[in-house]
Structure 1
């Protein structure tokens, strides 16, 4: 209890070193203006992305949330898992926020507020197995992003926003911080990169929403110099140059491609949120995220990539894994838009992977609910063609 009290005091106060920008997570005001202009002009492919969003039942203004007092991810021997209630509602809040910002129809904001308030007045803990840290990380950053879209809505009362901030801190951040500090007392290299990355993303997002620069800086520092596999030098740990393209082998490349692609479904949003606050993690160490993205995309497109045997305290992986090769995740629009469209960098495999996902998704990235009912389809917020496409 003393440990939690010290954390609470430190991280609720923050350090006040600089002002955080709002809206300033995945999307800025300029982004929302671009989305609206493209949709109003019926411009392709943005209009396809918009139609995908509006056809998804999670974006309906009649969506009924199912807040839980305790969320369980991982069966603890007693309580059945119920975390699908959380990820469905989180994705609905985000989808409704996008519909509100683009259409201007307050009924969508009201529906999002109902979700945000329902959970902030009900949720007290995330439990289960060690998988609780995955729930706190993935759904923590996603929930904070949904709230960031709605924070300017006059229909979301200040007291309700404060309660939501408290929930983010007490339920989500407390797990994020503890995991990155202790890793459940396991060896530092035991947990795969995605475990660190999702908790870093959540910490960063909650820091932004809660105007807490201490949280925000902790996440940035971990990306650069953390001890676990979420540090970028450990996530993308081996570089090659093949036909003039820098490729970065990833910590999960020898595990399976479902998790290897998940790393970039997390790195993209992490870097995007930081970029919108003035910190360029995309460009860090000569675009190391891009190197990893190009490697992972190239292999999942069916092409060969170099591979170096990977060893940690649990495994030795002497060959790249072809398990789940070709995984379809709506995560590549964001990365390609930043590196290719914004910075003019060659990102050909990332672009080809973006196009493959779009072709398999009806012409534009979908969101939660468009990629099956299981948690993997909700590991990323999606809708990137609508939200991130620049040209």
Structure 2
């Protein structure tokens, strides 16, 4: 009897949880560099595609360079204390910090792709400017701010430290000090707000830990991440109600409290997230950080997606289900009618530029079909930035339909 590869992929999805062990919070015995979100192999691949003017990478690269954050006449605007309140009120240094971190990341990518000294020096300009000024963050959105900015500082710094010889030792040491004093203490506290907060905070902390080669920070952050993901994306194997993050066991101690935390959604299906009924944008933030951390962990030797036979592990299954669940209702995805049981029949669509990483990992690398996600992703290329922490992922992870994702 003939069984299609697509059917086998679906069968493997359903049996994966029982056959695959759960992830374990453990730092690598030897760190891989560059190893925050992108490996050297990936960077070389991207560089080759752009040099050869192949799509979608060439257009995505040009689009990145056309953003104001990649302008060479742009200057850094560091703050000593960044104060971020709810809904950006007050906004004292918050936007400059996030965008300077994004600019440093853009310049680090441009440096690696074109090997032009001007791009390398521009990336260092941003990182050095902030590291000699910033002392800390305060107000209600400080945890989220450190996550958003810290995630891109870590990516940029990892590329520059391990591919560009011109970053001076004293400046590297100062940058490390900034990360240890102005970011790590805030990040490792975690958050019991909506789940995208803690997810991006752990994304930043894990990236910083790789850059610093600090296994205690890595383990602490990964432990929180491993507890948060199953509490963010629901699977039917969780039971009648979603799982609860360990830090919230005391506060979400009744079904009514848990349902309220899930935006009053009381019907749970595979792939639903804790913020789906809030809006797709925030759910997209959470899914983005999950994919980012899984990529960093994979580079460091911990494959959270699948086992050695290509069967999805628990986290791979959750990301797979969540991407398809949300994309099916996007106008450029499946454009399906929203059922009445989901968010009272009304959802706020717009995942944003967050699907390239998961699509590349699950479809291009592991060959699982994600038809709605692929359609949505291709329709919005080249994916740009959300001006918070997601940036230029068609350039870094696009091209799944071309077989990109072979490593």
TM norm structure 2: 0.76
TM norm structure 1: 0.79
Q: Is the 8 A contact 1:331 1:380 kept in 2?
A: no
Paired with 1:384 and 1:17, the residues of 2 have a C-alpha distance of 25
Aligned-partner SS, 1:232 = helix
| From 326, 336, 358, the counterpart of 1:335 | 358
| From 386, 397, 400, the counterpart of 1:388 | 397
| From 123, 127, 144, the counterpart of 1:134 | 144
Q: Is the 8 A contact 2:149 2:389 kept in 1?
A: no
Structure 2, unmatched stretches of 5+, are 1-25, 238-268, 307-312, 403-407
Paired with 2:206 and 2:174, the residues of 1 have a C-alpha distance of 19
Counterpart for residue 319 of structure 1: 344
Counterpart for residue 201 of structure 1: 203
What do the CA deviations read for 1:261-280 (whole angstroms, capped 9, x no partner)? Answer: 22112212121111111112
Deviation, 1:252, is 0.7
Q: Taking structure 1 as reference, are residues 252 and 77 closer, same or farther at Cα in structure 2, changes over 3 Å only?
A: closer
Q: Is the 8 A contact 1:45 1:386 kept in 2?
A: yes
Q: Taking structure 1 as reference, are residues 239 and 294 closer, same or farther at Cα in structure 2, changes over 3 Å only?
A: farther
Tell me whether 1:288 sits opposite 2:304 in the alignment: no
Deviation, 1:75, is 6.2
Deviation, 1:238, is 3.7
Q: Is the 8 A contact 1:250 1:260 kept in 2?
A: yes
Cα RMSD (Å) of the superposition?
2.4
Q: Is the 8 A contact 2:195 2:286 kept in 1?
A: yes
Counterpart for residue 299 of structure 2: 276
Paired with 1:306 and 1:289, the residues of 2 have a C-alpha distance of 22
Q: Is the 8 A contact 2:360 2:397 kept in 1?
A: yes
Deviation, 1:299, is 2.3
Deviation, 1:253, is 1.1
What do the CA deviations read for 1:284-315 (whole angstroms, capped 9, x no partner)? Answer: 31521111111122223432466878xxxxxx
Matches within 5 A, 1:19-98: 19-74=30-85, 80-98=91-109
Aligned-partner SS, 1:279 = coil
Matches within 5 A, 1:5-16: none
Deviation, 1:173, is 1.1
Q: Is the 8 A contact 1:248 1:295 kept in 2?
A: yes
How many residues get paired?
Answer: 333
